[in-house]
C-alpha cells in the first residue's frame, strides 16, 4: 500500500492545457459531478411533495434544488481536489479536469469553497436554517469523513460515506416543514441501504483501478461472491425499509405496489449476479448498478405521485 502511495505522490501531473472559455466552464461543471446532482433532484422534489402532502410552492422547490445542487457540487469538487493524486491512475476518473490540466488545483479549491459557502447562505436565506445546517453536514461528512478518512482506510468506506448521499431527503423535508420526523428518516435509511448495492457493483467493474491506487473497496479485499452476497443482504434490508413508509407516512396503494414490485425485481437482479459469481462466470455487475438507479428513480416517482393522488 505504501509503495503505491509513494508512486502516486512521485508522479508528475499531466501536462497543463489552456482551454477556451467553453471548455473551462465545462470543466467546472464536471467538478460538481452532474450525475450525482441528477439523483439529488430525483429524491429531493418527491420528498418535498410528500412533506407538503401536495405541491409546495414552485419557488421553494427551486430554491431548495439550487441550494442542494450547489452543496452537492461543492462536495464533489472537494472530492476531485483531494483525490486528484489517484484519479490519474483510474480509467473511470482519468479524464477529470484536475488530471487533464483543464483546471489548476487552486482554481478547483477556490471553486469548491465558493460554491459550498454560497449554497449554505442561499439555503439559510431562501429556505430555513435547519435545511442549511443539514446541507453543511452533508458537505462536511462527504469531504472529511468519507474522502479524507474512510475512503483509503476501510472497505466499509461506501457504507458509512454514503450517509452524505442520504441528506437530500432530510434537506427537502426540512425546507418544507422546518422539522425532521420519522418519515424522512425512513427515506434516509432507504438511500443509506441502497448505496452499497448501488456502488459495490460499480467497484467490481473497476476493481483493478481501485487495487492499483490502494483504495480498499470491498471488491478489492474480498472475492466477487462475497461482494455479491453483501449486495443481496443490503437489498433485502433496503426493500423492507421502503415498505415501512406505508404505515408511517402513510402511503397509498400506488406507492405500495411500486415499492413491492420494483424492490422484488431489484432483489432478483442481485440474486442473478450472485449466482453467476459463485459459478465463476462474469457476474455482470453493471446490470445491478444501472438497475439500482432505475429502482431508486421509480420508487421516488411513486413517493411523488402517491400524495398528489391520495393527499
pLDDT at residue 56 tops 80: yes
Per mean pLDDT, which range of 19-28, 80-89, 97-106, 214-223 is the poorest? Answer: 19-28
pLDDT at residue 232 tops 90: yes
Q: Is the peptide bond before 250 cis (omega within 30 degrees of 0)?
A: yes
Across 165-194, average pLDDT? 96
pLDDT tens readout for residues 71-90: 999 999 999 999 999 999 99
Q: With bands split at pLDDT 50, 70 and 90, how would you rate the model's confidence at 116?
A: very high
Q: Where do the CATH 1.10.357 domains begin and end in the chain? A: 22-152
Q: Which whole-number Å values give the CA distances from 157 to 1, 26, 196, 239, 308, in the listed order? A: 17, 29, 10, 22, 37
Q: With bands split at pLDDT 50, 70 and 90, how would you rate the model's confidence at 2?
A: very low
Across 51-68, average pLDDT? 96
Which element (helix H / strand E) includes 164? helix 163-177
Q: Which whole-number Å values give the CA distances from 65 to 29, 41, 239, 302, in the listed order? A: 16, 7, 26, 19
CA angle 189, 190, 195 (to 5 degrees): 95
Q: Alpha carbon 124 to chain centroid distance?
A: 23
pLDDT value for 72: 94
- Picking from 51, 304, 42, 306, the residue whose alpha carbon sits closest to that of residue 176 is 51
Per mean pLDDT, which range of 39-43, 121-125, 173-177, 186-190 is the poorest? Answer: 39-43
Cell of 268: 432478483
pLDDT tens readout for residues 196-230: 999 999 999 999 999 999 999 999 998 899 999 99
Burial of 4 (0-12, 13-18, 19+ CB in 10 A): middle
pLDDT at residue 13 tops 90: no
| Cβ count near 281 (within 10 Å) | 10
pLDDT value for 91: 87
Query: What's this model's pTM, rounded to 2 decimal places?
Result: 0.91
Task: DSSP letter for 11, please.
Answer: S
pLDDT value for 3: 44
| CATH number 1.20.120 is the correct assignment for the domain at 181-311 | yes
Mean pLDDT (the chain) is 91
User: Are 200 and 227 in contact, with CB atoms under 8 Å apart?
Assistant: yes
Across 271-283, average pLDDT? 92
Q: Where do the CATH 1.20.120 domains begin and end in the chain? A: 181-311
Q: With bands split at pLDDT 50, 70 and 90, how would you rate the model's confidence at 26?
A: very high
The C-alpha atoms of residue 248 and residue 183 are separated, in whole angstroms, by 6
Q: Which CATH class is domain 22-152?
A: mainly alpha
Q: With bands split at pLDDT 50, 70 and 90, how would you rate the model's confidence at 12?
A: very low
pLDDT at residue 18 tops 70: no
pLDDT tens readout for residues 240-269: 999 999 999 999 999 999 999 999 999 999
Residue with cell 432505475: 294
Amino acid at each position: 500500500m505504501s509503495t503505491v502511495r509513494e508512486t502516486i505522490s512521485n508522479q508528475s501531473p499531466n501536462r497543463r492545457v489552456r482551454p477556451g472559455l467553453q471548455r473551462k466552464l465545462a470543466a467546472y461543471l464536471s467538478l460538481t459531478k452532474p450525475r450525482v446532482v441528477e439523483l439529488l433532484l430525483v429524491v429531493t422534489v418527491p420528498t418535498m411533495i410528500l412533506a407538503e402532502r401536495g405541491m409546495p410552492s414552485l419557488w421553494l422547490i427551486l430554491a431548495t434544488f439550487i441550494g442542494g445542487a450547489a452543496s452537492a457540487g461543492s462536495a464533489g469538487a472537494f472530492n476531485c481536489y483531494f483525490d486528484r493524486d489517484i484519479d490519474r491512475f483510474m480509467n473511470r476518473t482519468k479524464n477529470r479536469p484536475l488530471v487533464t490540466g483543464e483546471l489548476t488545483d487552486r482554481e478547483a479549491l477556490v471553486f469548491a469553497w465558493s460554491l459550498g459557502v454560497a449554497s449554505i447562505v442561499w439555503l439559510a436565506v431562501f429556505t430555513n436554517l435547519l435545511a442549511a445546517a443539514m446541507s453543511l453536514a452533508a458537505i462536511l461528512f462527504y469531504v472529511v469523513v468519507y474522502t479524507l478518512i474512510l475512503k483509503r482506510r476501510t472497505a466499509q468506506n461506501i457504507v458509512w460515506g454514503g450517509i452524505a448521499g442520504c441528506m437530500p431527503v432530510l434537506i427537502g423535508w426540512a425546507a418544507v416543514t422546518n422539522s425532521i420526523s420519522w418519515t424522512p428518516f425512513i427515506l434516509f435509511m432507504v438511500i443509506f441501504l441502497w448505496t452499497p448495492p448501488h456502488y459495490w457493483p460499480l467497484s467490481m467493474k473497476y476493481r483493478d483501478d481501485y487495487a492499483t491506487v490502494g483504495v480498499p473497496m470491498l471488491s478489492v479485499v474480498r472475492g466477487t461472491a462475497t461482494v455479491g452476497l453483501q449486495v443481496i443482504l443490503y437489498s433485502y434490508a433496503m426493500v423492507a425499509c421502503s415498505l415501512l413508509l406505508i404505515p408511517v407516512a402513510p402511503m397509498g396503494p400506488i406507492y405500495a405496489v411500486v415499492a413491492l414490485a420494483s424492490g422484488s425485481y431489484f432483489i432478483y437482479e442481485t440474486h442473478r449476479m450472485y449466482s453467476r459469481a459463485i459459478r465463476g462466470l462474469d457476474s455482470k455487475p453493471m446490470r445491478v448498478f444501472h438497475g439500482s438507479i432505475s429502482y431508486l428513480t421509480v420508487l421516488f416517482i411513486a413517493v411523488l405521485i402517491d400524495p398528489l393522488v391520495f393527499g
